[in-house]
Structure 1
Amino acid sequence: MKLMPVAAAVLSLSACLFASTAATAQEVKAQSAPVHNIVLVHGAWVDGSGWKPVYDRLTKDGYHVTVVQEPLTSLEDDVAATKRVLDQQNGPTILVAHSYGGSVITEAGVHPNVVGLVYVAAHAPAVGEDESTLGKGMPSYTSKQPGAIMKTDDGYTYLNPADFPKDFAADLPLKEAQFESHAQMLTAAKVFSTPMTVAAWTSKPSWGIVAADDKIINPDLERWYYARAHSHTTVLAGASHSVYESRPKEVVAVIEDAAKHAQP
C-alpha cells in the first residue's frame, strides 16, 4: 500500500512530461523556421476577427501572431496602423493580407522587420497603380452587379447585406455569413483608388493564394498579380473570397512555408 503514492507521483510526472513534450514540439516547429513572427492584415468591410481560425492554428504551431485592426478610413491610416504593429515585433516578420489588405501590405511591407509577404485573395498593385483601376480591367462578379456595393453620403462603402453571403462568403455557414453581413466595417471609398507610392513585393519574396471561386476580386486578376510579382502561388479550387476563414488549414500551410523559406 505504501507504493501507491509513489505510483501516483510517477503517473503525475509522466503526464507533466507528456504535456511538456507536446508543447516543446510545437515550439520547435516554429523555431525551426527562420521567422517566428506573423502579422495578419484584414481587408475591406471586415475586421481582424475573421483571422481567428488562422491565428489559432499558427499559435498552436508556436508562432507569435498579431492581428492588425485597421480603421479603413484611408490607405495612409491603414498603412500607419500596420506599421505600428510591425514596430512591436521583436525580429523578422511575415506580413499577411487579405483582399484590400494586399494594398496595405504592399505599402507597409517595406518596413525593415518584414522579410516576406503573403497575399490571400488579395490585391498587389505596383507603384502608381490602384486596385480600383486594375479591377476595372478585370472586373469581378460583384462589381458587375448593380446595387451590390453601397455607398453612404459621406463616402463610405459596404456590401449589400443581401449579396454578402453569396458574394463574399459562399463557402461559410449561412448564419455566419449573414452575421458578417450585418457586422461590416464601412470602408472609405478612397482607399480603393489611392495609388501605391512603393511596392514591397518588388524587393521582398512573396506568396499568393488564388481563391478560385472569388466573386469580390476576379481570380484571374489575383493570378496576374502573383505572376507579375513572381510569387509562390497556390490555387484553392472552390474557395470563396472568405478563403482565410473557410480554408484556414491551407492558408496556414502557405504562411508557414513563407516563414520557413524567407531569409531574415
Structure 2
Amino acid sequence: MRHKWQRILSLLVLCILTTGGTLMSQTPTVKNIVLVHGAFADGSSWSKVIPLLQAKGYHVTSVAIPLTSFQEDVAATRRALAVQDGPVILVGHSYGGVVITEAGNDPKVVGLVYVAAFAPDAGQSIVDISKSFPKPLGMDKLVPQPDGFLLLSPDGIETAFAQDLSKEEKALITAVQPQTAGAIFGAQPTQAAWHTKPNWYIVASHDHMIAPEQEASMARQMKATTTTLPSSHVVMLSHPAEVAKVIEDAATSAK
C-alpha cells in the first residue's frame, strides 16, 4: 500500500510539473510592435529595425501617418492598433512621440518607446515644451511649401537630420521625404498615455533636430527607462541594433 501511495504522489507531482510547464509556455507575451515615424520622414525610416525585430519573432507594423494633421496621424495609428491581435508596444520617433502620447491610451498598448521623440503632457505642444531649450540647427533648415506645409532642405538632412549616415542613405531620405503640415507643431494631446503606461526613452546625444538636453528632460519627466546613444536624430538608422534591443526590452518587461 505504501509503495502504491508513493507512486500516486509521484504521478501527482509529475502532473503538476507538466501542467505548470504548459501554463508557463502559454503565458501571454507582447509580440506586436507598432512603429510610428516622425516629421519629414516615412515608414522606411524603420527599415533597419524591422528585420531585426522580425528575426526575433515579433509581428511588426510600420504606420504610414500622412503628416497632414495631428488628428489624421492619430487616426492612422489607431487603425493600425485596431487590427493587432493582442497587446502592443507602441514606438514613436520625433513628432511620432506626440502621436503615440495620444494614441497610446488605447487599451491594447502596454508600453511606449520614445526614440529621440517629443513627449508632451496633455494640453502641451511641441512649441510649448521646446521654449526653454536651445534652438536646434535643423529648425533653420525648414523650407515653407504651399498650403502651410514644410520640407527639410537637403542641407538640413545632410547636417542636422542624418549627419552620421552615408551619402547614399541621406540621398534616399531626401528622395522619400513627404511634406509635413506645419500645424502639427502646435498640436496638443488630450491625454498623455505615458502617465499610465510603462515607457522607455532613447536620447540621441548628437541630435540637431531636438536638443539632447530636452530629450533627457522629457525622459526624466516621464520617469522613463532611458538609453543614451551617440547618434543623430535618426538613431534608428544609425544604431538599429541598439534601438531594436530597447524595443525588445520593452516587449519583455511590459505585460
TM-score grouping bracket, smaller chain normalisation: 0.7 to 0.9
TM-score after normalising by structure 2: 0.87
Name the aligned partner's letter for residue 129 of structure 1. Answer: Q
Question: How large is the RMSD of aligned CA atoms in angstroms?
Answer: 1.6
Corresponding residue SS for 1:150: strand
Give yes or no for the alignment of 1:109 onto 2:104: yes
Question: Is the 2:30–2:87 contact (alpha carbons within 8 Å) kept by the matching residues of 1?
Answer: yes
How far does the alpha carbon of each residue in 1:177-207 deviate from its partner, in whole angstroms, 9 at most, with x for none? 0231232110000011111211000010100
Q: For residues 45-91 of structure 1, give each alpha carbon's deviation from its aligned partner in whole angstroms, at most 9, with x where no partner exists.
A: 11001101100000001001111000000000000000000000000
CA distance in 1, matches of 2:58, 2:143: 38
Q: Report the AA paired with residue 55 of structure 1.
A: I
2:180 maps to which of 170, 174, 187 = 187
Contact 1:34 1:261 in 2 (8 A): no
Q: Is the 8 A contact 1:157 1:187 kept in 2?
A: yes
2:40 match: 45
Secondary structure of 1:38 counterpart = strand
Q: In structure 2, what residue type is equivalent to 1:62?
A: G
Match in the other structure for 2:8: none
Matched position secondary structure for 1:258 = helix
* 1:248 shift after superposition: 0.5
Q: Conserved in 1, the CA contact under 8 Å of 2:124 and 2:189?
A: yes
- Give the TM-score, by structure 1 length: 0.84
Deviation larger for 154-163 or 95-104: 154-163
Distance 2:148 2:155 in 1: 21
Matching residue of 2:79: 84
Query: Which structure is larger by alpha-carbon Rg, 1 or 2?
Result: 2
Equivalent pair of 2:150/2:179 in contact (CA under 8 Å):
yes
Question: 2:49·2:236 contact (CA, 8 Å) conserved in 1?
Answer: yes
Aligned partners of 1:93 and 1:229: how far apart in 2?
19
Q: Provide the secondary structure at the position in 1 that maps to 2:123.
A: coil
Partner of 1:19: none
Contact 1:33/1:259, CA 8 A, preserved across alignment: no
Where structure 2 has 5 or more consecutive residues not aligned to the other structure, the ranges are 1-25
Q: Provide the C-alpha distance between the structure 1 equivalents of 2:138 and 2:116, rounded to a whole number of angstroms.
A: 16
Determine the structure 2 residue equivalent to 1:201. 194
What is the identity percentage for the equivalent residue pairs of Structure 1 and Structure 2? 47
Q: 1:144 deviation in Å?
A: 5.7
Aligned AA (2:105):
V
Which residue of 176, 182, 195 maps to 2:169? 176
Q: Which amino acid aligns with 1:183?
A: V
Aligned to 1:95: 90
Corresponding residue number in structure 1 for 2:238: 246
In the other structure, the counterpart of 1:262 is 254
Deviation string 1:23-59 (CA, Å, 9 cap, x unpaired) is xxxxxxxx98821110000000110011011000000
Asked if the contact 1:32/1:260 (under 8 Å) is kept, the reply is no
Alignment gaps of 5+ in structure 1: 1-30
- Tell me if the contact between 1:165 and 1:181 (Cα under 8 Å) persists in the aligned partners: no
Any idea what SS the aligned residue of 1:35 has? coil
Secondary structure (helix, strand or coil) at the match of 2:111 reads strand
CA contact (8 A) 2:138 2:156 kept: no
Counterpart amino acid of 2:191? V
**3-state SS of the aligned residue for 1:111?**
coil
CA separation of 1:90/1:121 partners in 2, compared to 1, >3 Å: closer, same or farther?
Answer: same
In 2: Cα distance, 1:109 partner to 1:45 partner:
22
Structure 1 moving runs of 4+ over 6 Å? none
Of residues 117, 127, 137 in structure 2, which corresponds to 1:142?
Answer: 137
Q: Say which of 125, 147, 155 aligns to 1:154.
A: 147
Q: For residue 30 of structure 2, what is the amino acid of its counterpart?
A: V
How far apart are 1:137 and its partner, in Å? 2.1
How many pairs does the alignment contain? 231
The answer on whether the counterparts of 2:127 and 2:185 sit within 8 Å (CA) in structure 1 is yes
